[in-house]
Chain A
Amino acid sequence: MILVDRMALHSDSFRLENISLTVPTGQYGMLMGRTGCGKTTILESIIGLRRIRSGRILLCGRDVTRLNPAARGVGYVPQDGALFAGMSVRDHLAFALVIRSVSRRQISRRVDELAELLGISGLLDRTPTGLSGGERQRVALGRALSFRPQVLCLDEPLSALDAQTRGQMCDLLKSVTRQSGVTTLHVTHNPEEAGILGDCHLRMTDGTVHVMSEYDQPVLRDQEG
């Protein structure tokens, strides 16, 4: 479960007060809102990249509010993938496991398993240069899931993709997250994505997060779609 409890956060450009949200265990949470409203900031504070002023963040029942991001065990897929230059796709998938000193045999088994799951077995020896947008995001997703995190954070992972690739990635995200049972928080401003992927829908307006019922969905789609 992802639980943010009355979080307050101040940065140079804006401040967020009294933010609370919940994504139940194993569900796919969709956080929507206009560009610049602070969605990414909330995501970054869950990952631990931003220090919060007050409030609590709980991941799977554990209070991680003051915990180092490296110890939180959150998979993170940023907007453009942020792949590591000069590293092969195989190195990307193995990265978190090498850091954790996992045995070489287990790493190689996990890399093959992930590559097959994400359909990137043919790309294992390529470097990020020359990969297409969809391929990059698959690698970034594989890298984030490699160490079997319990929580996955996605920051507009599909926004830079063309319509067809986006559809394929949506299907992939859905099946992969279902299969791994990971609790996911996905930030987007695209209501279509939210409709396809989300189990629970959260919307940021005027600095607060509202939970939306199933009933709200079509209305929202009409407004923005």
Chain B
Amino acid sequence: MTESGTDRSAAGRPDGSPARERLLPRDSEEFSGDFSGQPRSATRLTVVNLAFFWSFGIIGGFYVLLILGMLLADGAYMTAQTLPAADGGERSWFGILSEGPIGRALADRRIRYSIRLSMISCTLSAVLSVLVAVPLGYLLARHRFPGRRLVDAILDIPIVLPPLVIGLSLLILFQYPPFSRLAPLIVYQVPAVVLAQFAVACAFAVRTMKSTFDQIDPRCEQVAISLGCSRVQAFGHVVLPEARRGVLTALTLAWARSLGEFGPLLIFAGATRMKTEVLSTTVFLEMNVGNIDMAVAVSLIMVAAAIVVLMLTRLWGAPVS
């Protein structure tokens, strides 16, 4: 059987090379191309397809559950810490909350300062990041200039570099002129917080803006130019409105990165209470002195702030229709 099949195919091809023969199925008799006599089993297909979706779903589900589990654990821990305070007698919910760790954290002057500094510095660094990311992302997406690939690679450095190294590098940079002249105003001062956050967050914003501009069809811009627009007008009237959602995503991402920034801050801005302390530093400082419930309370405040910012930008970025 096998031989006859192979022979026939080899005879059918003048150049029937051995390599060609090996590609043919060994045990089939017919090579005429009619495969309708061998239907695929529908049950088998259904089982295989179900297995495919279930296995993908289970693998993906693990990660989603991990995220939810972490947040729920924080919440459960906080509830367990808050409720015993209420045992004493009948008090209002407000009373219970204000005596729990979150209430105590919010009442602490130093933590209030750290919340305020976090919100202000994150917003500043996010806005700065977008201001830099829009032109940079646009140039990288639209123009072929010498050294473009190099610039592209340099922009990955803050993403792949350990954050601590970025903080240290900033500190060393400010040893040299002309930066050293500004060092007394920046290093270990509040501006260092924003600069350290910006140094990392901006790289993420640039990536987001570049992929946004990559996805926008250059045709609309070309039409605008043919209609008489200068480059600036075409960008302002046509490209930027289309990139609106990308700008909001970049803003959110940069804000969230800034909120989570810790390593560079510790090195470049220090962790002085009431001065350069932001929320992530607070968590670290409270953990260091064994104040776990305070650390968890501040973490939950950060979670709440992140959720609020995420929802705000989602609402803002909703498509207009």
Contact of B211 with A by CB under 8 A: no
Q: A99-B233, A129-B321 in contact; A84/B227 too (CB < 8 A)?
A: no
Binding site for B on A (CB under 8 A): 47-49, 69-76, 78, 80, 82-87, 95-96, 99-100, 127, 129, 140, 143-144, 146-147
Which of A72, A84, A143 has most B Cβ within 10 Å?
A84
A47 to B228, CA, bound (A): 11
The complex places the Cα of A129 from the Cα of B242 at a distance, in Å, of: 13
Q: Is the CB of A84 within 8 A of B226?
A: no
State whether the Cβ of B22 lies closer than 8 Å to any Cβ in chain A.
no
Is the CB–CB distance between B220 and A84 below 8 Å?
Answer: yes
Could you name 22 residue pairs across A and B whose Cβ atoms are closer than 8 Å?
Answer: A47-B222, A48-B226, A49-B222, A49-B225, A49-B226, A70-B225, A70-B229, A70-B230, A74-B226, A76-B222, A76-B227, A78-B223, A82-B219, A83-B220, A84-B241, A84-B242, A85-B242, A100-B228, A129-B321, A144-B226, A144-B227, A147-B227
Cβ-Cβ contact count across A and B, 8 Å cutoff: 68
CB-CB under 8 A for A82 and B220, given A70-B225, A76-B226, A99-B229: yes
Taking a contact as CB atoms under 8 Å apart, the answer to whether A95 and B227 are in contact is: yes
Q: Are B241 and A143 in contact (CB under 8 A)?
A: no
With the chains together, A70 CA to B320 CA distance in Å? 30
Inter-chain contacts of B230 with A (CB < 8 A): 70
CA distance A146 to B226 in the complex (A): 12
Q: List the B side residues contacting A69 at CB < 8 Å.
A: 222, 225-226
The interface residues of chain B lying within 8 Å CB-to-CB of A87 are 241
Least CB distance from A42 to B in Å reads 15
User: In the bound complex, do residue B229 and residue A75 qualify as a contact, i.e. CB atoms below 8 Å apart?
Assistant: no
Q: How far is the CB of B230 from chain A (nearest CB, A)?
A: 6
Residue of B nearest to A153 (CB): B226
| Closest-CB distance, A188 to chain B (whole angstroms) | 18
CB pair A99–B219 under 8 Å, yes or no, is no
Decide yes or no: A80 and B241 within 8 Å by CB, A96-B228, A99-B229 being known contacts. Answer: no
Q: Which of B164-181 contact A (CB under 8 A)?
A: none
Interchain CA distance A144-B223 in the complex, whole Å: 9
Q: Assuming A99-B233, A129-B321, is B226 touching A75 (CB within 8 A)?
A: yes
Residues of B within 8 A of A75 (CB): 226
Distance in angstroms between the alpha carbons of A81 and B173 in the assembled complex = 51
Q: How far does the Cβ of B160 sit from chain A's closest Cβ, in whole Å?
A: 30
Within 8 Å CB of A83, what residues of B?
A: 220
CA distance A80 to B233 in the complex (A): 22
When chains A and B are docked, how far (Å) is the Cα of A69 from the Cα of B225? 7
Please name all residues of chain A whose beta carbon is closer than 8 Å to the beta carbon of B224 when the two chains form the complex: 84, 95
